[in-house]
């Protein structure tokens, strides 16, 4: 690592890399390692709608954060982005919970919508894995007041994070008729 790197920034690099590997690995395991589904005391069908709501609200907060920073309202930008991060984290917890406990849902659409759905789903999944380190590095740099580096990475993070949030909602809407 270059010697001019801020020691506080360097101290977060390893945990960010670890989380960036662990999160997609956990999701991969949930989908491809078949485990018994335990009985739970509540209706799991509500979790996909909660997840879509969390994604939708995250998208709104990202847009608000962008609006605030363009108007140089740094404190409101910071609060919007922290709230978006918290909702995305809550989404991840609900998402993992749902897929650990619920039976897998398959898309039943036919015709032109089927390849559209799978294109959205595949790009959503790929970018959801990519966005983890981007968000973590962007947030860390912003919270450390390293605004030069924050701005540089945020130019990539914001549109990709927004895409992931919006396509999460679209995926839910397309898949919702098929939830068991």
Does the pLDDT of residue 167 top 80, yes or no? Answer: yes
Could you read off the pLDDT of 73-118 as tens digits, one per residue?
999 999 999 999 999 999 998 988 888 888 888 999 999 999 999 9
Q: Which residue has the higher pLDDT, 35 or 54?
A: 54
Tens digit of each residue's pLDDT (9 = 90 or more) over 5-48:
555 555 787 888 888 888 888 877 776 776 666 677 778 889 99
Q: How far apart are CA 42 and CA 78, in angstroms?
A: 36
Whole-model pTM: value is 0.85
Instruction: Give domain status of residue 61, yes or no.
Output: yes
For residues 46, 48, 54 and 55, what is the CA-based torsion angle, rounded to 10 degrees? -160
Number of domains in the chain: 1
Per the domain annotation, does 53 fall within a domain?
Answer: yes
The domain in which residue 82 lies consists of 44-178
What's residue 3's pLDDT?
Answer: 44
Structure tokens at 26: 């956990």
Q: Is the pLDDT of residue 1 over 50?
A: no
Asked if 160 contacts 130 with a C-beta cutoff of 8 angstroms, the reply is yes
Distances (CA, A) of 56 to 11, 29, 61, 164: 32, 26, 9, 10
Distances from the Cα of 91 to the Cα of 8, 47, 126, 159, angstroms: 28, 10, 17, 18
CATH number at residue 171: 1.20.120.80
Residue 1 forms part of a structural domain: no
39 belongs to a structural domain:
no
């Amino acid at each position: 690592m270059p010697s001019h790197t801020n020691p506080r920034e360097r101290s977060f690099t390893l945990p960010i890399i670890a989380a960036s590997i662990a999160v997609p690995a956990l999701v991969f395991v949930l989908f491809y390692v078949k485990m018994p589904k335990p009985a739970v005391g509540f209706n799991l069908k509500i979790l996909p709608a909660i997840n879509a709501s969390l994604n939708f609200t995250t998208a709104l907060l990202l847009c608000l954060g962008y609006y605030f920073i363009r108007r140089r309202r740094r404190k409101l930008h910071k609060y919007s982005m922290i709230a978006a991060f918290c909702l995305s984290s809550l989404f991840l917890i609900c998402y993992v919970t749902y897929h650990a406990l619920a039976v897998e849902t398959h898309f039943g659409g036919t015709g032109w919508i089927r390849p559209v759905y799978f294109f959205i789903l595949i790009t959503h999944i790929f970018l959801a894995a990519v966005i983890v380190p981007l968000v973590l590095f962007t947030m860390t740099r912003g919270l450390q007041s390293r605004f030069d580096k924050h701005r540089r990475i945020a130019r990539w993070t914001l549109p990709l994070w927004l895409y992931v949030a919006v396509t999460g909602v679209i995926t839910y809407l397309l898949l919702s008729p098929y939830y068991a």
